[in-house]
Chain A
Amino acid sequence: MKLQNLWSAKGIAIGAAALLALSGCGSDGGSEATGTADADGIITVKLGVVGPMTGPASLYYEYMDQDLEAFADDFEEQYGVRFDVVAEDDQASPEETARAVSKLINEEGVQAILGPPLSGNSLQVADTVQRSAIPWLLAGPNADEIINYDVQPNWAFQTNFTNQQIMSILGERLWANDAKVGIVYSADGFGQSNLDQLTAWADANGKELSVEETIQPGAADANATIKRMKDAGVESVFMGITQGSDTATVTRAIEQGGFDPATIMTTGTILTNYKDVAEPSQWEKIQIVDPRNFLEGGDKWVLDQVQEETGEAPAIPTNNISTYAMLDIYAQAVQTVGDANDKEAVRQAMEDIETVHIGPDLTIESPFSSDDHKLYTDDPATWFTYGFDDNFDLVNLGTAADCVEGC
């Protein structure tokens, strides 16, 4: 009898726990996300956010979470648009991403999707989202291949620079004075896209990529990679590496191997996870190019606000800024249309947007057209070249155009 009571108590407890757990899942019940204006004139949008909430890549979800926490009230005040977030964990895996996106579209009925943040996973679900005819807010991924402009109308928008754009900027710099160029790229979607775009730029401009080397995430060393570059006489190195910690493995090998190329370029990914595992002597020659001005104006304001509102450093500074721009674009479009359920009208309003605001004093005018859903351009005069001081603080060295021959 006692045992029965115990089991029965256990059953009630498990049942209660299950109910509690279920009530915490999804947000359908009681959601006010009608997509149209309420009595106060606020339009609540059901926004699906997909990214790696758990696991080692969770920084790639955190930056979206930080922006929503820091700026949701601002967008509501400015545009009368409130975000009712339905978050799904993709665990940074293609399979989970497909499941998460499918759930957001088919079960949750979201009115737009923010994410996934990783290029490879976005590629995995690109056809699905396009077929579902839902505004797709790509604030993180850099791969150009995600958007197929042959398919119109196109539902995806990118507010990060693309790999094609950065390679256009970097190509001029890396091959300046006919230098021998080598690339180290991470063995993932981001790295592969970097390689593809750099190779494409080289082919289109009659240049040759002398050495192509991969680095596995978490590799213990990169000595062989650097030795091969050194032996090949490489003078310009490009590191297209997803994780800053892997970039540190490469720069350690450069120092240890006594390799001294004239130019070492990489991307803004070095701003994440690099400083704490590297030494000043290893980053003193590294430079990055980026269309954002991290040191002043609206871009800096976004980063400062994230720090102030969340109490945390921006998880991935480049993507924090991109996410702000994307939410601004989408919120404006919803305000213009007045109904988030009219997705085609919202998509068109995004495409036709006249002014994108990044912070209070940075604007980008009419960035999109039907065959260009990229926020930035590849004009080197609008990109910045940065180096690093001893504390790994960014130093603005001039525009990419100014630094073609080196800075």
Chain B
Amino acid sequence: MEPVILGLVLGGLYALLAQSFVLTFITTKTLNFAVGEFVALGAFATIAVSSWSWLPSFGRVAVGFLAASVVGALAYRFIVLPFTTQGEHDTRWLLSTVALSFVMLNLITNVEGPSPQRSDTARISGSVDVLGVGVSKQQLLLAVLAVVISLILIVVSQRTSIGLVMRAVSQDPETTSLMGISPRLVGMGAYAVAMGLAGLAGVLYAATVGASPVMGAPLLVASIAVAVIGGLGSLWGPLLGGALYGVLSEVASFQYGAIWGETAGLLLVIAVLVWKPEGLLGRRMEVKL
């Protein structure tokens, strides 16, 4: 039971970040490989205002979210969008987002230094008993947040006009633009929310491990894996992917050692790609020629 509980909790962190990938993919058919640096950006933005005693903790967390949101929207406009202009086979954004990752990493390192910095905002110390298993309260918060945010995104996507617009832009940006909807603005909005989520994850994760320029990088592979397992086209996907990846990697770590944990999770990715390339909850896109 212990690896299952701990795996579900760990999967929550990955799911929250995976939601960033899913959100941008659903709307713009692009992924931002600088998500790890947006995690760090959110964490450092919150630390920067941590001395503002007049601002409550919630406000400081919001600063982390907003800082990553604003930079995320700008990143889409100036780093992603210009490299998607040659049709759906234009994948130059792959390189531009990787380049953005390097630039942000070096900028953050130069400004903040390489050492982890303590972050007390939204820090919840200690552990709580879940079905007889000691679980870090901080990690549990991240897992619960991943579920709540995923549900909110699903409701917004399916029940509101904003969601309708997002789906319309995703399926046919040209037609929606003829209807007066700007795919560019929708894309910026999606990136703002997605990178804001990465920043939020960074704020909460930094309360455990400290904020450092490289804090997001180790989470990147796992969160991409979670997004792929669940399906890049499904907002439910990260929850399922996070649960499966987290539990499998923890069970493998418990049974065979830590070195096999990540390996087992990545083997699951390969298995899913072979069996269901669109992800477990993704929908196969068929194109009529």
**A contacts, CB < 8 Å to B:** 54-59, 187, 213-225, 227-228, 245, 248-249, 252, 256-258, 272-273, 276-277, 279
Contact = CB atoms under 8 A, between A and B. Distances in A.
A57 B105 CA distance: 12
20 contacts: A55-B106, A56-B114, A57-B114, A58-B109, A58-B113, A59-B114, A187-B259, A213-B258, A216-B218, A216-B262, A220-B10, A220-B222, A221-B10, A221-B139, A224-B253, A225-B253, A225-B257, A228-B254, A257-B134, A279-B125
Contacts of B214: 56, 218
Size category, B interface: 35 or more
B261 A224 contact: yes
B250 interface: yes
Interface in B210-226: 210, 212-215, 217-219, 222
B213 A56 contact: yes
Contacts of B114: 55-59
Interface stretch (B20-28, B115-123, B162-170, B268-276): B115-123
Given A225-B253, A273-B115, A273-B116, A219 B258 contact: yes
Interface string B22-58: 0000000000000000000000000000000000000
A370 B123 CA distance: 54
Interface of B: 2-3, 6, 10, 13, 105-106, 109, 113-118, 125, 127, 134-136, 139, 208-210, 212-215, 217-219, 222, 250, 253-254, 257-259, 261-262
A249 B118 contact: no
A277 B139 CA distance: 15
Contacts of A218: 214-215, 217-219
A215 B258 contact: yes
Given A54-B109, A277-B118, A220 B253 contact: no
Given A55-B109, A219-B218, A276 B117 contact: yes
B7 to A, nearest CB: 9
A216 B220 CA distance: 14
Nearest to B250: A224
Interface centre among B13, B210, B222 (most CB of A within 10 A): B210
Interface centre among A214, A220, A257 (most CB of B within 10 A): A220
